[in-house]
Structure formats: structure tokens, C-alpha cells
Structure 1
Amino acid sequence: MKRTMQKLLFLVPLLAAGYISCSQQKHDPAPVTPGKPTPAIVNYTDADATAAYNNFNQYCYSPSDKLYYATTEKTGIGAIWTQAVYWDMAMDAYKRTHNADYLQKVKDIYTGGLNRYDQYNWNNTTVWFIYDDMMWWIISLARAHQLTGNTEYLDHAKAGFSRVFAGSFDPADGGMFWDFQHTGKNSCITFPTVIAAMTLYNITKDTSYLDKAKTVFNYGRHNLYNSSTGRVADNNIKGNPGWSDYTYNYGTFIGAAVMLYQQSNDVAYLDDAKKVADYTQQHLCDTAGILPAEGDWNEQGVLKAIFAHYIMNLVNDGGQAQYLPWIRKNINTAWGNRDVARGLTYRNYAIPCPTGTIQSYEASSAVSFMQVCPPEK
């Protein structure tokens, strides 16, 4: 069944319950065999980070499509929005290593998306059917321009941002609708919009992007965030926040706040980012500090890959190195529990990676962490 129909069928019970999450698509689970335990204590290295990325590509990347499979069975291409996350991973791998092959992969993934997604035609409402799917690609296109200087990437990012903002932003009450039907204003579009706007502002110095970023973040801070605790809601439907915890929402809030802090030097943004990171560490993790095992055979397996990118923005751009031991513990746990034969990691860092079919989504997040977080020296 096509993902469009999966999305529509899955939305029915969610809407009836007054709850929406941008990443809950269910699939029939494939049988897996628990892997054999690997050493409980490891300290990953730069070479491990390279191996993890190469292994992920070996088992999950389609050279002919120039995009990623949904599973290690290699029978179908993964969800449209997750491809942008994998593109970010390629960029991060290149930044870490300066390996020319990885730069070529960055260019190839762009071509793969161009060919599969109607030349990045943002008006095609069959290819693009929810706003957050579009915004993940817009962010990645802008980042790819920053990395390569290719103006074609930037042109697509700017056109996409204009399209999404015009259709998603609510000029009357503020905030960003996640879907074309305007059923709810979700974190998965709100904080990525801020990140996209700030990235485009940093490239173009066009202050209209900065104004939009501040406006949207202000809505999100007041309607999708508990400033007392640091908790981030998944959605807000007609003024009612949906307090479900997903790591990507925590990550994009952190990323948006850090980017605004960098531009303004307003420590209130940094304080919010730290409060959200603290909440993630203290309330989303288990007693050992290990992040949740999101993605029970659905696309949520990719969520921690998004969180990885933005928690490291807080470390690097916000100067908050106190989070590094926690992040490294998660990486070491995941890498220690990898499937040794394939070198693949799993969405549940605390258990051995299954040796059977797994999704690219659930294999991705520890790899992403390893590209952006340097090992302990």
C-alpha cells in the first residue's frame, strides 16, 4: 500500500482521539532474531564512526535510486521525509572526514530526490502531502547549499519555504499547521520551520526569514512548550496541547532555540534549549540515561537521528559540553550492541541489534550520533 494511503488510514483513529503525531505509520513487522550480545563496554572511535556509516550505506542505500531503502531487505524505498534525514547524515559524514566519496554521495542523494520527487516541485500534492515532509527537505537543501555553494540547492530551498509558509502559517492565530487540511499545529512543522528560516537567513541575510523564525518560535514556545519543566508537546489542536514525547521534537526545539541564540545573543533562548535538553535526559531516558527505543516497525526509528544533530548544536554552538558524557554513553551502548556481522545498530540501544531484517529508520540514529559527536580522546 502506498504511503499516502497509509497516512490517511492511520490519521482516522488519531483524529478521533484528538491527537496527531507526524511520524506514526504502521507496517507489518518482519520477524527478527535477537543478536548475540557484544561487549557491554566499548569506547567508539573515529574509525568506528566511519565503519558505522559505511555499513549503513551497504545495507540500506540504493545506488540506482540514489536514495535509501525502507528495510535491509532492499525491496522498496523509504519514506520521503526520512530521506532528508539521511541526506543530513551524508553531509555530516563529509564534514567529519572530508572524504570525497561522501561529498559525491551528498550530490547523488540530491539527484535521487530530484528524480523521484518531481524535480522538487513543491506544488505537486501527490508527492508532497503534508507540510513537515516538505520542510525536512527544505532544511537539507539549504544545508547542502552551505556545504557546496550550489545555487540550485538554495533556489529549491527558498521556493519550498515560500510554498510551505504560505500554506501552513496561520496569520490569524499564529503557528504552523502540519497538514494541508489544517487539523493541528504540530512541533514537527513548527520548530523545523524556525530552523529552515534561520538557515536561509544565515545564507541570504534577508531579515524577512529572521522575522518569520522569531514569530513561529514565539508561537511554539507559548503553545507547544512548558517553560517551567522543559517539556515539548507533539501538537496543539484548537488550543489543546498534546503532551506526547518524541525525541525529534525535543531536538528541533533545541536547534531552533540555539540558532536564535546565536543570532541574538539572547540567553533566554539558550536557557530554553538547556531546559529542554535536561528534560530529555531526565524524563525521556531510562534510569541509565539511554534514550527511548522509538519506532516499533514504523518511521519513528529515525527520530533520534534528528535529535542527534540538534543536541550537538547545543554542545558546539551553545557551548554546553556537559551533555557530551550522556551522548557518548548512548553511542557506546548502541555500538556495543551492534550486529557484529553486519555492523548495524538498532533503535533500542540497550539491547543487541536483531540479526534479521531491520528498517533503515531504526538502523540510522546511532550512526547519525557518531557522525556529529566526536569520541572521547
Structure 2
Amino acid sequence: MKKISYILLTSLFITVASCSKGKEGAAPIEKPGKPETNNNFTSADATTAYTAFNKYFYNSSAKLYYNTTRQDGLAAIWTQAIYWDMAMNVYERTKDPAQLTRVNDIYQGGFNQYDGYNWDNTTTWFIYDDMMWWVIALARANQITGKPEYLQKAISGFNRVWNGSYDSVNGGMFWDFKHSGKNACINYPTVIAAMRLYKITGDASYLDKAKSIYGWAKANLFDTTNGRIADHKIGNNPPGYEDYTYNQGTAIGAAVMLYKETKDVAYLNDAKLAADYTKNKMSTNSILPAEGDFNEQGVLKAIFAQYIMQLINDGGQSQYLDWVQTNINTGWKNRDTERNLTFRNYNIHCPTGDIQSYEASSLVTFMQLCPPK
């Protein structure tokens, strides 16, 4: 991911490659709004929200997304993969042939912008997790479209990351090319990518890798007493705990996918514990945290949305559905009603000025995945 933060651990100066994001420009003024009084979002609202997101953020020439409503630059490389996942969610919800065209267009946009998915280009790709978000999306796009080139790119990308990132001595995946730390944002997505490739290819080595990385992550990044996910582990230092919804989400997704394949209830229990921590400790009055102070963190809940819904659907845990719907209803009521854009902070009215695609994306993603009440 694009931004890097630095922290001091004990008396040692250690550069920590953190997946969290720093400031990116001036944030819009956030004002509490007077939400509408209508009760629940509808399927039509989900379509309206996605249409608005594309109106203000999709670059039909580049076939990728802008970073802000100013439309003066493309969004960060890794977030484009998250928006591609959103497009696939819409197609799976609507089965609209035009939306399938958009799914294929975004692949081409990434191909054109990112050197044909040349994973060895260390100018285009400068962090392992940036690649892995795309590998996840490429594998899913193959499942949806059947296009073999999508699978080929996913396999070659996974191999590139595995060969460069995996610690064959101590286990786990390094976040950056310098191997400065092992972060949640590469380890859990690696499990998800491996499980998708296993489902497509039947190659048991992917399942073995998924189990191996999940085991390392559980031992080093997962607080088994409460389900909190650490952001990173640096050498022999204690885990660095910072609460981010996407780390909670990918841990949930990795566990659910392993549970669905192995039927080992320990994985499902891990997923529920991580979901409970997000709901009970990270949320305020049931509303998810407003991540992303005009930076790329605004997209984190879009990732969480993907995997909490897998827990609900594939893991059979419907007890989380009302919580998710409450978040969607709150955020949708507080949308910018002129533009139908939504905001990262679901509790306040969406700013009417310039906003980022990152911070506008998560509620739209939730709406494509979650059924209305």
C-alpha cells in the first residue's frame, strides 16, 4: 500500500512497513446532518449508490477509478482491486450483462495502467500486499467470467509474492521488499488468495500454503482471548496492535474459507471472535469506526464488508446481519442526497464538497452484498 508509517519500538529504531495510511491532502469539513426519516435501504438504493459512485469516480477512458470527485488523478493501485471487487459484487447481485462488461473493462484498465500485470516491474509494484489484493480479485474474476488469462495472471502474481515474501525459516509473509515486517495486510490476504486458487485449480499445495500462513498469523497476529488482530509483527518484538477493520475482515475471510473447505470448527470460532471484537470493541453504538481522514484508509471498511458477509452467508452466522444493516441504513440516510454519494463516517452527513473515492466506497460495497431488511 502506498503510505508508510514509522514507529519506535523499545530503544531500537525499527522501520515498520505499516498498511495504515497517512494524510493525503486537506480533509473536507464534516458536519452532523439531519438524516432522512425513511427506514431501510432497498435494492434500488444499492443500484443508485453504485451508479453515483461510478458517475463521480469512474474514468471510462482509463477504465479505472479517480481518487477524488475532482477527477484529477487515479486512485491508489491497491484500491483499484477493491473497486474491481465491488464491480463483481454488483454483477453477482444484478446479473446485468452491462455490468459483466464493466468487470472485463476494469481488468483491461489495470492491464493498461500496470504494465500488463508484470509482477516483476518493481516500479509499478513496490509492496507485496498491493500485488496480493490484485491476485485475489483476478482469481475471483476468473471464477465469474471463466477467462483463462485472469487465472494465469493470478497464479503468476501469487507465485511472485510467495517467492519473494514467504519466510521459509520462521513462517509468515513479509509486507515489503526489504522484509522489514510481517503484517496482517499480507498474511491474511495470502490465505484468501490461496484458497481461491485452490478452489479453481484443485492444487492441494495452495491449501497447504493457506493453512501454513493462517497458522502463523493466528500464533503471531491474533489475540485468541478477544479476536483482536494485530497490524504487524517485527522480528521477535511483540505484535503491534492497531485496530483496522480490513485486518479484522481479512482474518474473518481467511478463517471462513478454511472452515468451509475443512469443516474444522476452530476456524469458524476464530472468525466469530474477530467479528465480535469488531462489533463490540471497535464500533460505537453499533456503528463501525470512521477510518480514513482524507487518506486511503477510507477504503478499509469496503474490505471488511466483503468478508463479514462471507461469515454471514458461508459461515451461517446470521446474528451479524442486523448489525450490518444498521450500519448501511445509518450511512445511507446520511448520504449527500444531491449526488447520492456516501461517506466513511456513517454517523454524519456526507460532506457536499470534494471527497475521495476511498471514503465513498465502503457503504456502496456493503449495499451490493447485504440484503435489505
Is the pair's TM-score, using the shorter chain for normalization, greater than 0.5?
yes
- Residue 196 of structure 1 is matched in structure 2 by 193
Give CA deviations for 1:168-195 in whole Å, capped at 9, x if unaligned. Answer: 0000000000000100000000000000
Equivalent AA in structure 2 for residue 282 of structure 1 = N
Equivalent AA in structure 2 for residue 124 of structure 1 = N
- Which of 252, 255, 260 is the aligned partner of 1:257? 255
2:233 match: secondary structure: strand
Distance 2:7 2:232 in 1: 16
1:90 match: secondary structure: helix
User: Could you say what the CA RMSD is over the residues aligned between the two structures, in angstroms?
Assistant: 1.5
Distance 2:15 2:41 in 1: 43
In the TM superposition, 1:1-377 aligns within 5 A as: 7=3, 10-12=4-6, 16=13, 19-32=16-29, 34=31, 36-40=33-37, 42-239=39-236, 240-286=238-284, 288-376=285-373
User: CA 1:330–1:277 in structure 2 vs 1: closer, same or farther (change >3 Å)?
Assistant: same
State the shift of 1:237 in Å.
0.7
Q: Conserved in 2, the CA contact under 8 Å of 1:32 and 1:357? A: no
Give CA deviations for 1:199-235 in whole Å, capped at 9, x if unaligned. Answer: 0000000000000000000000000001111111000
User: CA 1:270–1:31 in structure 2 vs 1: closer, same or farther (change >3 Å)?
Assistant: closer
Equivalent AA in structure 1 for residue 157 of structure 2 = G
Give CA deviations for 1:301-354 in whole Å, capped at 9, x if unaligned. Answer: 000000000000000000000100000000000000000000000000000000
Moved more, 54-63 or 41-50: 41-50
Q: Conserved in 1, the CA contact under 8 Å of 2:17 and 2:175? A: no
Unpaired segments of 5 or more residues in structure 2? none
Equivalent AA in structure 2 for residue 245 of structure 1 = D
Q: Conserved in 2, the CA contact under 8 Å of 1:191 and 1:217? A: yes
State the shift of 1:124 in Å.
0.2
Give TM-score scaled by structure 1 length: 0.95
Q: Conserved in 2, the CA contact under 8 Å of 1:35 and 1:354? A: no
Distance 1:363 1:196 in 2: 25
State the shift of 1:100 in Å.
1.4
Distance 1:196 1:183 in 2: 22
User: CA 1:257–1:30 in structure 2 vs 1: closer, same or farther (change >3 Å)?
Assistant: closer
Q: Conserved in 1, the CA contact under 8 Å of 2:174 and 2:181? A: yes
Distance 1:81 1:181 in 2: 19
Q: Conserved in 1, the CA contact under 8 Å of 2:67 and 2:74? A: yes
Distance 1:36 1:227 in 2: 39
Equivalent AA in structure 2 for residue 63 of structure 1 = S
Q: Conserved in 1, the CA contact under 8 Å of 2:70 and 2:354? A: yes
Q: Conserved in 2, the CA contact under 8 Å of 1:61 and 1:68? A: yes
Provide the aligned length of Structure 1 versus Structure 2.
369
Distance 1:273 1:46 in 2: 28
Q: Conserved in 2, the CA contact under 8 Å of 1:142 and 1:200? A: yes
4+ residue runs over 6 A deviation: none
Give CA deviations for 1:141-171 in whole Å, capped at 9, x if unaligned. Answer: 0000000000000000000000000000000
State the shift of 1:26 in Å.
2.0
Distance 1:18 1:127 in 2: 22
State the shift of 1:23 in Å.
3.2
Distance 2:335 2:154 in 1: 36
1:191 match: secondary structure: helix
Give CA deviations for 1:238-266 in whole Å, capped at 9, x if unaligned. Answer: 13200100000000000000000011000
Distance 2:27 2:184 in 1: 30
Equivalent AA in structure 2 for residue 352 of structure 1 = H
Distance 1:18 1:230 in 2: 26
2:252 match: secondary structure: helix
User: CA 1:14–1:98 in structure 2 vs 1: closer, same or farther (change >3 Å)?
Assistant: farther
Q: Conserved in 1, the CA contact under 8 Å of 2:189 and 2:250? A: yes
User: CA 1:57–1:35 in structure 2 vs 1: closer, same or farther (change >3 Å)?
Assistant: farther
Moved more, 36-45 or 254-263: 36-45
State the shift of 1:33 in Å.
6.6
1:241 match: secondary structure: coil
Distance 1:273 1:20 in 2: 25
Distance 1:14 1:345 in 2: 36
User: CA 1:54–1:14 in structure 2 vs 1: closer, same or farther (change >3 Å)?
Assistant: farther
Unpaired segments of 5 or more residues in structure 1? none
User: CA 1:179–1:247 in structure 2 vs 1: closer, same or farther (change >3 Å)?
Assistant: same
1:72 match: secondary structure: coil
Distance 2:7 2:265 in 1: 41
Distance 2:15 2:105 in 1: 40
State the shift of 1:37 in Å.
2.3
